[in-house]
Amino acid sequence: ASDYTVEENAKFGALFCSLNSNSNEKEGECYFKNIDGIIVDSFKLTSKLNLY
C-alpha cells in the first residue's frame, strides 16, 4: 500500500471503484484521484466469498 500524507503534500480527493471488472462479479478496480486530477493510488479487489 502506498502512503499519501500531509508530509507529502496530500490533497483531498475521491475514491472511485468499478465493480464486475472483466465481466467477473467477484472483481473490482479502484483508484484515488485528488482534487488536482492526479491519480495517486490504484488497486484491484477480489472477493473470496461464496454467496451462491
Q: Which of 48, 10, 20, 15 is nearest to 30 (CA)?
A: 15
User: Residue 22 has what pLDDT?
Assistant: 83
6 occurs within a structural domain: no
Q: Give the separation between CA 41 and CA 45, rounded to whole angstroms.
A: 13
Query: What is the number of structural domains in the chain?
Result: 1
Structural domain of 26: 12-46
26 occurs within a structural domain: yes
52 occurs within a structural domain: no
29 occurs within a structural domain: yes
Tell me the pLDDT tens digit for each residue of 1-52.
Answer: 467 777 778 899 999 999 998 899 899 999 999 999 999 999 999 999 887 6
User: Residue 50 has what pLDDT?
Assistant: 84
Contact 18, 31 (CB under 8 A): no
User: Residue 52 has what pLDDT?
Assistant: 64
Strand partners, 42: 31
User: Residue 1 has what pLDDT?
Assistant: 47
39 occurs within a structural domain: yes
